[in-house]
Structure 1
């Protein structure tokens, strides 16, 4: 049995972009005291759970979260006192009912998720278990393959690149540690290449470099060059993962696409699909996230029909970790994989429900950070617990990203020879 909750308290802290977010502390009657911190996204789907902000222009430019903090302290906390921390689903459901809206707009998904994560961590600590084992069970031992963001564009950088993320994926490595080493070396080699060309080596929100390049395609080709110069084989040791975040350059969030940053012009859904086919033919692409906009369900379906047998077509903004939209996607064959983000849906239980739906359908699912992160490592444990096989958590820079990688290294060391690491 886990301890019972004796205190729940929230406070306002800053995330990796210097914007306010919520940290929640939970104490149990057995002496357990833990905290959890909530991430925040910049590229968000319109159907995501609502992140409650104060809107006071005189404080943090309107981005304060004192309302969310007050909702934890005054509304949620009194209802949880005396409950067992191990009753995760009951606690999460209680908070959903307290909120009373489909998108958690009353209390705020940031308030609810902070409590949900802290309760899970408290229960694990109370039982003397690592968080990944508490959430995933005793057989949990697969370390995810990292998709490291090494070039940023789109909403995550102020440069000439439309595509939001270009990632290196060490799918051919023998272990997580060796895979992390290979992409970290590629990341540092990429910096040397950019410097040699007189290009900027400043980083974007998720730690990838944000140079001005002649085209989106040049970003892929430069990464391939970095992989080779680092001593690895593109498509054998390290592959490429893309996140178009196509909603960010679709003015109607539908069938029109403006590749204005790179000078790529206005494209239709069919044009985007044709571009996808060219790139998959030409480059070692393993996964492609949000290749079409969140309301372009038919375009997404056709993209998957053409390329889903060759790569993982991952839905993020279109599904927003919500079983309602994932179920529709499964029925319509919209994609074949889902990105799982805890704060898109707002509770640990609902995130696990989304994973379960993917498993039941034979779909893959990838666990992801947000562009506004904290040093909290909950995500790393959650990725191992969910056994999904891949994690997105940024580049080999910025400590809020490195913290997750270091936690995965710790878990791999703890598991020792029993640890598993494989792509599919």
Structure 2
């Protein structure tokens, strides 16, 4: 009877919305059965009928130039959807621009790179406001895979256009060179030959550095649009971005439990550039013990950071809040350097060859078992030494490739993941990276028993979406930098908020172990199975491997030299 009554009331309400007057008996029944005001009733009825409305679709995108955490231009993408026949702003996303500026870059080169970055952002704004806005119009923001596919095709088209222009320019250069006078050509050839002969006398012990990967002008538009669509899809579904991302990775299979990535907290930055040398230690990082909650781990890291500031600051001087500020201005201040001599300088005047570096790291980790991760211990060109290091230390600590890895989009297209043998990879959401790329790539890394670390790029912003992506993708670590500066603290606060939310919903699961891979077990020739890791050991790592588990909060001097290295 109650169901029949509700159905009758809905029919009569529908008649009212069609322009008919509400029957008197309906008002009497409502007053008798429901102690609601008419406004409340009509609101409930509106919510009921809203279920039958058309699903929200994208109506336009809006791109604009904004500044990132180091004052460099980057892109913000706003997404608008048609919701109940009205245009509504859903959300915005800011994507970080990541340009690989060599540490030995000249001042002229740095200025040219900054101009190129500015032009790239300007082009990205044009792409968003014109081509991409038209391309994804009328698509549902929940159609992430389909939209990302279109974005990828658009980017590929732009790459082909660029290649065509470059080939035309090369043809023009060839014509101009052949038209030169023979004497000039001969002189040029003689100079080149003499210069080559001079270089041949230099003995090199390591392969030359691979060229920096080019960044297509305007590529920020691809990553920014994909991230904005993901955030809009989560908003439309009424769920947080981390859960929306987890559903994308699991093909809409809702996870019963979720784990949080452990933060790699930068404790000390050693950004001192020395001419013509390869540096050993760039950052010292702390990883909270797995036995602690995220909140407890960050509080302990803060205590250690304060103690470090007190110990390192000169007497009578106030502590500097930027002690762990490892990325401030990195992209803007580069010193002129001579070519690398072929060895790593681990201390002033102390050099090691790549093979000797393997022995150095083995000795270091054996002496200080608190070291549980080495980030970029070697250049990616030293592949054989990476292999040797993994077989020597792979069962004791993580060997992570960050700069030694290629960009996320290239990793996705390369089926073999063309990086040195390693325990895991740092992924950064920059330029043309799409959300679907991260979903696909992390799934592949999971299948190869590699750990995933999501890291902030140099020019990071206050957009905290990276943390949601890390949680939703099931990353083992998240590399956010030090506990300072607003754009970083915002991300740490978001991580704490997610921990509280998962704990409240009773869906939070703590991973109480560090699992390292033994590269010697079940090893096969590299030609048959290149750089694929065997299943990790199931034995848990002793608690002393967690650096912050030190008694008290005073940090021993050797920790400054021997914690996580990059």
User: In the alignment, which residue of structure 1 is the partner of 2:479?
Assistant: 392
Q: Quickly say closer, same or farther: Cα 1:294–1:175, change in 2 above 3 A.
A: same
Whether 1:277 aligns to 2:362 is yes
Compute the displacement of 1:346 (Å). 1.3
User: In the alignment, which residue of structure 1 is the partner of 2:245?
Assistant: 135
Compute the displacement of 1:89 (Å). 1.8
Provide the rounded CA distance (Å) in 1 between the counterparts of 2:371 and 2:356. 18
Provide the rounded CA distance (Å) in 1 between the counterparts of 2:217 and 2:258. 36
Counterpart of 1:307 (choices 368, 379, 393) is: 393
Note if contact 1:377-1:407 (Cα within 8 Å) is conserved in structure 2: yes
User: In the alignment, which residue of structure 1 is the partner of 2:331?
Assistant: none
Counterpart of 2:96 (choices 39, 59, 64) is: 39
User: In the alignment, which residue of structure 2 is the partner of 1:366?
Assistant: 453
Whether 1:21 aligns to 2:74 is yes
Q: Quickly say closer, same or farther: Cα 1:372–1:57, change in 2 above 3 A.
A: closer
Provide the rounded CA distance (Å) in 1 between the counterparts of 2:482 and 2:149. 35
Q: How does 1:394-413 map to 2 (within 5 A)?
A: 394-413=481-500
User: In the alignment, which residue of structure 2 is the partner of 1:126?
Assistant: 236
Provide the rounded CA distance (Å) in 2 between the counterparts of 1:325 and 1:288. 24
User: In the alignment, which residue of structure 1 is the partner of 2:59?
Assistant: 6
**So what's the TM-score if we normalise by structure 2?**
0.59
SS in 2 for 1:119: helix
User: In the alignment, which residue of structure 2 is the partner of 1:182?
Assistant: 300
**So what's the TM-score if we normalise by structure 1?**
0.78
Provide the rounded CA distance (Å) in 2 between the counterparts of 1:76 and 1:268. 49
SS in 2 for 1:354: helix
Q: How does 1:175-254 map to 2 (within 5 A)?
A: 175-196=293-314, 202=320, 207-208=325-326
Compute the displacement of 1:181 (Å). 0.8
Counterpart of 1:317 (choices 364, 386, 403) is: 403
Compute the displacement of 1:60 (Å). 6.6
User: In the alignment, which residue of structure 2 is the partner of 1:144?
Assistant: 261
Query: Which of the two has greater strand per residue?
Result: 1
Deviations 1:324-368 (A, max 9, x none): 5572458xx711211121217611111221101111111111111
Which of the two has higher C-alpha Rg?
Answer: 2
SS in 1 for 2:443: helix
Provide the rounded CA distance (Å) in 1 between the counterparts of 2:67 and 2:458. 13
Q: Quickly say closer, same or farther: Cα 1:278–1:22, change in 2 above 3 A.
A: same
Provide the rounded CA distance (Å) in 1 between the counterparts of 2:482 and 2:91. 27
List gaps (5 residues or longer) in structure 2. 1-53, 104-108, 161-212, 248-253, 329-336, 515-566
Note if contact 2:355-2:385 (Cα within 8 Å) is conserved in structure 1: yes
Compute the displacement of 1:6 (Å). 0.7
User: In the alignment, which residue of structure 2 is the partner of 1:237?
Assistant: none
Compute the displacement of 1:309 (Å). 1.3
Q: CA RMSD in A?
A: 3.5
List gaps (5 residues or longer) in structure 1. 47-54, 211-248
Aligned residues: 373
Compute the displacement of 1:193 (Å). 0.9
Provide the rounded CA distance (Å) in 2 between the counterparts of 1:10 and 1:45. 29
